[in-house]
Chain A
Amino acid sequence: MGRKLLLKDINVPGIKSFEVYRKQGGYASVEKALKTMSPDAVVEEVKKSGLRGRGGAGFPTGMKWSFIDKKSEKPRYLICNADESEPGTFKDRFLMEYIPHALIEGMIVSSFALGAKTSYIYMRGEFRWIFPILEKAIEEARAAGFLGKNILGSGYDLELYVHSGAGAYICGEETAQIESLEGKRGNPRNKPPFPAIVGLYGCPTVVNNVESIAAVPHILNMGGDEYAKIGIGKSTGTKLISASGHINKPGVYEIELGLPVEEFLNSDEYCGGVWKGRKLKAVIPGGSSVPILPADLFLKNAKGEARLMSYESLADGGFASGSMLGSGGFIVMDETACIVRNLWTFARFYHHESCGQCSPCREGTGWMEKVLHRIEHGHGHMHDIDLLVDVAKKIEGNTICPLGDAAAWPVASAIRHFREEFEYHIKYPEKVMNPKHFEIEPFRSEKNLVMA
C-alpha cells in the first residue's frame, strides 16, 4: 500500500475542525517555519523536495517561487488556484471540502516563503457550499493565532481571503485568474511579463494549485530530501488522482507516484476495475486536455514496458504513443463508449470556454465542434477527418494561452488512435443514429480491445 500524506487523516472523525486537525499534528509546519526558518530556507526545502505543480503543467514549485521579484518594493501576492474546472478533475474540491485546514496551513507557510502579506484562494463560484467551510477554517486558524498580525510572535503578518469565480474554465489559467481577481473578464494576458514580476495589481505574484500548496506542510515537516524519496525519479511525492468514468469505484485517491497504472485501475484499493465486467477501451489519464490512449498503449508503452502513474512514464512515447499525467483526471472508457461522442463533448466544452481573444482558438474550437457533431450524428464526410487534424494543427502553438493546445490535443490523439471508429461513423450513418450505438453493439477493433 502506498504512502499517504494529504489524505492520511481523511477518515479521522471531525478532521474538518481546527481542534481535531491540530491534534493530528496540524499546523506544526507553521510553527517550524515561522519560528526556526527563514523564508529562503522554506523555498530551499521545497526545491529539494522536487515538488511539481499539481495544477496540470508540472512545473517545479520551488523554482517558480525563486522567480518572484524580490527587488520590487511592491507587495507580493500568493493566489491559490482553486478554480478546478478541467473535465475529469475533482481532487481540489475534495481536499477543501473534507480537510480544509490542510490548505489553510499550506497557504500560511507558502505565503511566508514568498513574503506575501495578503493571499487569496480563488475558488470556482459553483463550489458555493465550500465557501463557508473554508471561511470557518480561516476564522478558527485566526482565533488560534495562526493568521493575522504577528503570527506566533514571529513578526510575520498574513491576511487570507476566499474569492469567488463565476463560471469560466479559462479563469484557471493563471493570468486570466489574475484579471478575474481584479474584477474583469477572464482574458489571459500576454507573457512575458510573467506574474512573478507583474501579477495581481501589477505586483509580483505566484499562482499555485490547491494540491501543490497542501503538499508544502508535509515537505517542511519531513524535510525536502525525505519527500523526494517518495515516488519515482523526478516524479516525487504523492498525487491525488480523480478517477471517473466506467469504473467500479470512482473517487479521489492518493497514490505514491510510480504506482503501476494497471494496479491503479484494477486493484480494489483504487478504481476496482472496469465496471459491469466489460473490457477496457481507452483511458484519458490526466484530464480532458491530455491525449487519449487506447487500452493497449495505456497499460504498456510502445516498447512493451508496463506504464506507471508518473509524469515521465505516462508521457513515454511523446504524442505518438504517450499522454500526460496533467492534473490527474483519470477518465476510463469501456467498450461501449463512443470515442467520437466523448470527443464532441470536449470540443463543445473548449468552444464554450474559449475567451475569444485569438482567432485560431475562437474559430478553430467552434469549427471542430461543428465537424465532430456532424460526424457523430451520421452526417460526416471522409475528408472531415483530415479537416479536423488540420484545424487542430492550426490552433496548436498559435494562441496566447494554452487553452488552444488543450483543445487541439484531444482531437489529434483521438484520430491518431481511433481513426477506424471515425470512418465507421461516416461509412455507416444508419448505425450511429441511435446515440447509444456502441452500447447496443460495441465497436470492434482488434487493435483497441484488450483484456484489462
Chain B
Amino acid sequence: MSLVQKIIKRYPEGRHKSALLPILHVAQAEFGGWLSPETMDYVASILNIKPIEVYEVASFYSMYNLQPVGKCVLEVCQTGPCWLRGSDDIIQYISNKLGIQPGETSADGMFTLKVVECLASCGSAPMMQVGNNFIENLSVEKMDDVLKKLRETHNVPSPDYGSPYPVNKA
C-alpha cells in the first residue's frame, strides 16, 4: 500500500478529506520543500476534492511553504521564552552571516531564514527547527559550527538530541 493510501485508511469511510494535512506534508517533502499550485492540484485530485479546498487549507497553516525555499530552512523561534534566552542574537547572527533577512533565501539557494513562533522547546532555548529536527540550546558561539554541518549534510540532529535538559529523578 502506498504511503498516501495508508494515510487515507486512518479515517473512516467517506472522511478521506481528513487526510489532507498529512498528505500535504508528504507532498511538500516530495516536491522540493514547497507547495506549488500544481502540487496542490495534484493533492486535490488524489483526494477527490476541489482545488480550492486545498488552497484554503495550505494558506492557513504556517508549515506549508507557498513559495520556493532553500535546501535548508532555518526556522528560528522568536517568542518570549526564547527571546529571554537570546533568540534575537541568533537571528541577527544568521542574518549577518548569510546576508539574508527573515523570509529570504541565500543566493546559493542553500538557506532560507524564517522566524517562527514557539515550537515547544522553551526549556532548551534558543532553538531552531531544521527539517525534521530541533537544534536546541543554541548560542552565537555554536552557530558557525551548526551552519557548517548543515551545509555538509543539509540536516543535523540536535547536538543535544536525546536529552535536551536534565529530568527530575524518581
Give A contacts to B, CB under 8 Å: 4, 7-11, 75, 84-90, 92-94, 98, 118, 120, 124-129, 161, 163-169, 180-186, 201, 242-246, 249-254, 269-270, 288, 329, 331, 333, 337, 341-342, 345-346, 348-349, 352-353, 355, 435
- With A4-B168, A166-B24, A345-B78 as contacts: A87 and B62 at CB distance below 8 Å: no
Contacting pair A11 B167 (CB below 8 A):
yes
B3 lies within 8 A of chain A by Cβ: no
A73 to B84, CA, bound (A): 52
Give B contacts to A, CB under 8 Å: 10, 12, 15, 17-22, 24-25, 53, 56-57, 60-64, 78-81, 83-85, 88, 116-125, 129, 131-134, 164-170
Contacting pair A10 B57 (CB below 8 A):
no
Closest A residue to B20 using CB positions: A183
15 more contacts with CB within 8 A, not counting A85-B118, A165-B21, are A7-B168, A87-B117, A90-B123, A93-B120, A163-B10, A163-B18, A166-B21, A168-B60, A168-B62, A182-B15, A244-B84, A253-B168, A337-B84, A341-B83, A342-B84
Partner of B61, one of A10, A165, A246: A165
Contacts of B132 in A (CB 8 A): 128-129
A165 to B119, CA, bound (A): 13
Contacting pair A345 B169 (CB below 8 A):
no
Contacting pair A329 B122 (CB below 8 A):
yes
Partner of A184, one of B57, B118, B120: B57
Contacts of A125 in B (CB 8 A): 21, 25, 61, 63
Contacting pair A7 B21 (CB below 8 A):
no
- Give A415 Cβ to nearest chain B Cβ, in Å: 16
Contacts of B131 in A (CB 8 A): 128
A126 to B169, CA, bound (A): 28
- Give B60 Cβ to nearest chain A Cβ, in Å: 4
Chain A to chain B contacts (Cβ below 8 Å), 8 pairs: A129-B134, A167-B116, A181-B18, A182-B15, A252-B167, A254-B168, A269-B168, A345-B83
- With A342-B80, A349-B79 as contacts: A88 and B62 at CB distance below 8 Å: no
A181 to B122, CA, bound (A): 26
Contacts of B79 in A (CB 8 A): 87, 288, 345-346, 349
Partner of A249, one of B20, B88, B165: B165
Contacts of B118 in A (CB 8 A): 85-88, 169, 288, 349
Partner of A250, one of B78, B88, B124: B124
A88 to B124, CA, bound (A): 11
Contacts of A92 in B (CB 8 A): 120
